[in-house]
Structure 1
Amino acid sequence: MPGSTEKPILPLDHLALRGEDSAEALVLRGEVLDYKALRSRVSRLAAWLAVEVPAKGARIASWAAKGELTCLLPLAAARAGLVHVPVNPLLKHGQVAHILADSGAVMLIGTPSRLASLAEADVPADCRLVDEAAALADAAMLDGELAPSQADPDDLAAILYTSGSTGRPKGVMLSHANMWLGAESVADYLGLAPDDRTLAVLPLSFDYGQNQLLSTWYAGGCVVPLDYLVPRDVMKAVDRHGITTLAAVPPLWVQVCELDWPGETAGKLRRLTNSGGALTVDLVRRMRRLFPGARLFAMYGLTEAFRSTYLDPSLIDSHPTSMGKAIPHAEVLVVNDAGFIAADDEEGELVHCGPLVAQGYWRDQERTAERYKPAPLGSHYGGMAVWSGDRVRRSADGLLYFVGRRDAMIKSAGNRISPQEVEEAALATGLVVEAVALGMPDARLGQAVHLVVRASPGFETTSELPRKLMQELPNFMQPKVIHWRDSMPVGPNGKIDRNGLAAELAGAGA
């Protein structure tokens, strides 16, 4: 059976127990925690949480930059029997208000500036706001610590919010087992070891970002979290901290490869990993030239099942456009339009089966039923599977190749952006009466957001719209270009012709 799970599956907080006491586990600003200190701080933070939020299964959210709180909370919340809801620190009050209300979070721990940006109406009545520094200080003052959890591996451990092609972000429910096996799987195929040092540059609110922590700690290695301002900060951190493992998305890799890397610094890296968008052939070649001693892992994943495939680094030069094969604990099938396993080189839908499949969308049975369906005939695992909506093909040698996306999702700089959410923000300004958000090809971002709008009566093309959007949407959702139209094209069904608009912009070289 693919992805054997013969090793014991433990509660998520047990990841803190794996490293040697004196081995470095986490590099913070001004101090370094070894595994003994990591265990103590996780236990104390968990004990504080258990007192403050005694109801098992309650949701607690975090909204802060990378640091002690955001790194420890995934394990501490699990140990306290709570469900962690990490919020992307780039989001603004509207998105945070939705996540708090939808998740039913009873506590939001964050930085003072972020908490202050929330209006009274953004915070549910039963949700407490707690300063992260105060939370850590109170936890440090506790006399006792909380023992490792005995939770059922199938218990809910986290809700990660991810945008869909329509509507507000939806919360993907991850169990202890999902996250434990994800950490084990990645540590296994990356070959992580206790002497590895991972530079965590990706947001910890993403499954790919959070796994930087979990897989490294599974292997007993050290994590160096970094909120970088410019790509050069990444290069400096690799040199300063002796980084061996760097994970990024394609736009960052483009910027990283534009830097003049000293050979000694580049030589510190043992492995490079990519997800959140495909690497181009040109970018693969540049990365291979710049980091000849590093193994390059191209990967494909979706939050609904954590990660699905990786390409063996030995094949990256000969098959640079391939998604590779299933990761440990995953079974990846290609299902044709007739519902059967596709033949070699036949296009079909990527379907992910196995124990990495999440538990569905939080409080959203309708959208869960659309994406989570019984595994197709021929699956070794059976049970529920994630039907990705992505079109792929499998070659005769078993390697998978991406064909296209079925939905209208905009994928920009590794972020999944809902067109509807951008459109709703534009309409809410009152400056436009119609709005269409499209993802157009962009050399640096993968896709850039283009917003096509028609002005409200009495308004003309105005610079006021970008200003208002800056107040309501995070930076990564801001339109790169706003196109003003006197009228919108309408299709046979009476709806705005989105495909026609996209073709028009493409033809104009947008």
Structure 2
Amino acid sequence: MTVNTIRELLENAAHGNPEKLAITLDGDRYTYAGLFERVNQVAHYLTTLNLPKGSRIGIYSNKSCDQVIAILAIMSTEHIFVPITRLLKPEQVKHIIEDCGITCIITDTKKIETVKATGFSGKIISYTPTEESDVSFEEIYKCYTGKHACDIKGHDNAAITYTFSSTGNPKGIVINHRALFDGAAIVAKYLDIRSDDVISGILSFNLDYGLNQIYTALFKQATLAIHKFVLPSDFFTHLINDGVTVLPLMPIHITQMFDEDPHRIPKPEHFNKLRTITSSGGNITPLMIKNITTHFPDAKFYSMHGLSEAFRSAYLDPAQIHIRPNSIGKAVPDVELYIINEEGEACKPREVGELIHRGACIYKGYWNAPEETRKRFKSIQILDKVLKPEGNLTDEIVVASGDYVYADEEGYIYFVCRKDDMIKTQGYRVSPYEIESVVYENIPEITECIVFSIPNEEIEEEIVMVYGGKRELPKNEILFELKKHLPNYMLPAQIVYNPNMPRKSLHSKQIDKEALRKEFV
């Protein structure tokens, strides 16, 4: 028997709602009974490999129903699921394989050549038969029964997720089953997910935000409609034809979907089933809010904030999106958030400090990175000047996020910058996020903007702004607008147009600030 795991959610759905549609993509459709049978067959096969408990099994493939089956199959064993972003190159895939010691990889025919190029010598499983793999899902379905029993514990490690950037090798974050289970329960709670919901599977199943769509659907026994975002027109067709009611997005998707002739976007009445939209993984701009509320007027829009070390920390009540559009909101259920200064004292309203996450959804730590783990995962003693746990207990772990934030008088939290991003210039501390917010609010022609600093001996640090849009704007025109809203010491010394921004992560499409900074330094 297993409890507090994603496997438990799958068993509950298969036994309690077997004929309900679980996942769909184009012509592929699986009921919960059908999904459960396929997952059990693959999980049964994995147990015959006699791998040691906790062995890492990678999934490197394009999005599909088979990919979801593979994820749930690994999570129905004592092994650890390692998602590998489909856009990674052989050397990056090789790093992940070697860093966490992957012994088996599940892939598709399009990615199997990349796996081979890494020199991988372990077991290769493909979705369809190919000479390059040891076995395929099709062969497993023919030879293995659907019977499979497991006894996974909530505290067992479930997944290791990796993110890439230009600043060095990636780090893997270790997540146990309980954290994934809690994340599904919490999201289902504050988003009011229902069993009759159709959740869009537009996000990549490589990081926790995208994976949570699978787990939340299981938690409420809803339907997951997988979609591969290529063209805005196809995306809108997906919303209409699949009857999507819950739409998880990243800011880049909001930009892409409305980067289209407005006359080609279906009228709002075509989206009357859509009731909930969420966004995480980047800044929400006024233009994004305007487009969402204009084209999806019946949907509630949730802006959310998560951490690398904890799934979800805060969300903004949709009723506040036009009142406090820049706020990340308040703590999600079962989480406490504290803001402390450098002395460890609670910050006053409007005082900037570090965000500390206590409670649910905290991950285990960084794989093979003890220094990074010690930097972020702290004893609750870090909050000694804020609260006193009963009995003087000190073994509880909290996350020191590295995010600089402040709260207003009503407790709504605002992101300022990462701890290492604060700019010191002319004797002042400057938040790059504050400058970026002014740009987005007042210069609609600019669709992307990143602000950072480079060394300048005369003034400590010099402010640089790089922006993207459909056309380059005169520098004086930009400065003229910024001067209306910012003091002189906050004005960028350099303003550069770059329509092809480097990306920090292949799956999130966030701008790589460090790559840009290196170009200037």
TM-score (norm 2): 0.76
Distance 1:441 1:403, change over 3 A: farther
- Alpha-carbon distance in 2 for matches of 1:479, 1:316: 27
**Aligned equivalent of 2:520:** 501
Residue deviations 1:137-173 (CA, integer Å, cap 9, x gap): 1331234334453211110000011246842111100
- Alpha-carbon distance in 2 for matches of 1:16, 1:333: 35
Q: Does 1:110 align with 2:107?
A: yes
**Aligned equivalent of 2:208:** 207
- Alpha-carbon distance in 2 for matches of 1:357, 1:179: 10
Partner SS, residue 246 of structure 1: strand
**Aligned equivalent of 1:243:** 244
Residue deviations 1:102-156 (CA, integer Å, cap 9, x gap): 1100011112232213455x2344x223323243113312343344532111100
Report the alpha carbon displacement of residue 408 of structure 1 after superposing the two structures with TM: 6.0
Report the alpha carbon displacement of residue 16 of structure 1 after superposing the two structures with TM: 1.2
Residue deviations 1:275-327 (CA, integer Å, cap 9, x gap): 01121123212211211100100001123101111111111121111101111
Partner SS, residue 113 of structure 1: coil
Distance 1:326 1:29, change over 3 A: same
- Alpha-carbon distance in 1 for matches of 2:182, 2:387: 19
CA contact (8 A) 1:250 1:275 kept: yes
Distance 1:306 1:164, change over 3 A: farther
Stretches of structure 1 lacking an aligned partner (at least 5 in a row): 1-7, 412-418, 420-437, 445-468, 484-497, 503-510
CA contact (8 A) 1:13 1:148 kept: no
Partner SS, residue 333 of structure 1: strand
Q: Percent identity?
A: 29
Report the alpha carbon displacement of residue 499 of structure 1 after superposing the two structures with TM: 8.8
Of 360, 364, 388, the match for 2:401 = 388
**Aligned equivalent of 1:352:** 357
CA contact (8 A) 2:28 2:65 kept: no
Report the alpha carbon displacement of residue 441 of structure 1 after superposing the two structures with TM: 4.2
Of 271, 295, 302, the match for 1:290 = 295
Residue deviations 1:30-62 (CA, integer Å, cap 9, x gap): 231111111111111111111135322110001
**Aligned equivalent of 2:128:** 133
CA contact (8 A) 1:18 1:219 kept: no
CA contact (8 A) 1:302 1:308 kept: yes
- Alpha-carbon distance in 1 for matches of 2:338, 2:325: 21
CA contact (8 A) 2:55 2:80 kept: yes
Of 22, 25, 28, the match for 2:22 = 25
Report the alpha carbon displacement of residue 501 of structure 1 after superposing the two structures with TM: 3.0
Q: Does 1:329 align with 2:334?
A: yes
- Alpha-carbon distance in 1 for matches of 2:137, 2:378: 42
Of 78, 83, 88, the match for 2:80 = 83
- Alpha-carbon distance in 1 for matches of 2:511, 2:186: 35
Distance 1:24 1:474, change over 3 A: closer
Partner SS, residue 216 of structure 2: helix
- Alpha-carbon distance in 2 for matches of 1:119, 1:268: 45
Matched to 1:271, the amino acid is T
Deviates more, 1:183-192 or 1:332-341: 332-341
**Aligned equivalent of 2:9:** 15
- Alpha-carbon distance in 1 for matches of 2:330, 2:179: 19
Matched to 2:363, the amino acid is A
Partner SS, residue 367 of structure 2: coil
Report the alpha carbon displacement of residue 84 of structure 1 after superposing the two structures with TM: 0.3
Matched to 1:402, the amino acid is F
- Alpha-carbon distance in 2 for matches of 1:233, 1:112: 24
- Alpha-carbon distance in 2 for matches of 1:97, 1:161: 13
Partner SS, residue 357 of structure 2: strand
Distance 1:243 1:474, change over 3 A: closer
Stretches of structure 2 lacking an aligned partner (at least 5 in a row): 130-135, 423-431, 434-451, 453-463, 471-501
- Alpha-carbon distance in 2 for matches of 1:60, 1:165: 25
Matched to 2:418, the amino acid is R
- Alpha-carbon distance in 2 for matches of 1:50, 1:286: 49
- Alpha-carbon distance in 2 for matches of 1:89, 1:265: 32
Of 361, 372, 379, the match for 1:367 = 372
Report the alpha carbon displacement of residue 9 of structure 1 after superposing the two structures with TM: 5.2
**Aligned equivalent of 1:299:** 304
Report the alpha carbon displacement of residue 216 of structure 1 after superposing the two structures with TM: 1.5
**Aligned equivalent of 2:444:** none
Matched to 1:310, the amino acid is Y
CA contact (8 A) 1:101 1:124 kept: no
Partner SS, residue 82 of structure 2: strand
CA contact (8 A) 2:236 2:266 kept: yes
Deviates more, 1:211-220 or 1:172-181: 211-220
Partner SS, residue 410 of structure 2: coil
- Alpha-carbon distance in 2 for matches of 1:348, 1:474: 30
Distance 1:88 1:407, change over 3 A: farther
CA contact (8 A) 2:85 2:507 kept: no
- Alpha-carbon distance in 2 for matches of 1:202, 1:380: 40
Please tell me the root mean square deviation across aligned C-alpha atoms, in Å: 3.1
Deviates more, 1:161-170 or 1:185-194: 161-170
Taking CA–CA contacts closer than 8 Å with sequence separation of 6 or more, which of the two structures ends up with the larger relative contact order? 1
- Alpha-carbon distance in 2 for matches of 1:249, 1:171: 21
Q: Does 1:314 align with 2:312?
A: no
Partner SS, residue 364 of structure 2: coil
CA contact (8 A) 1:200 1:226 kept: yes
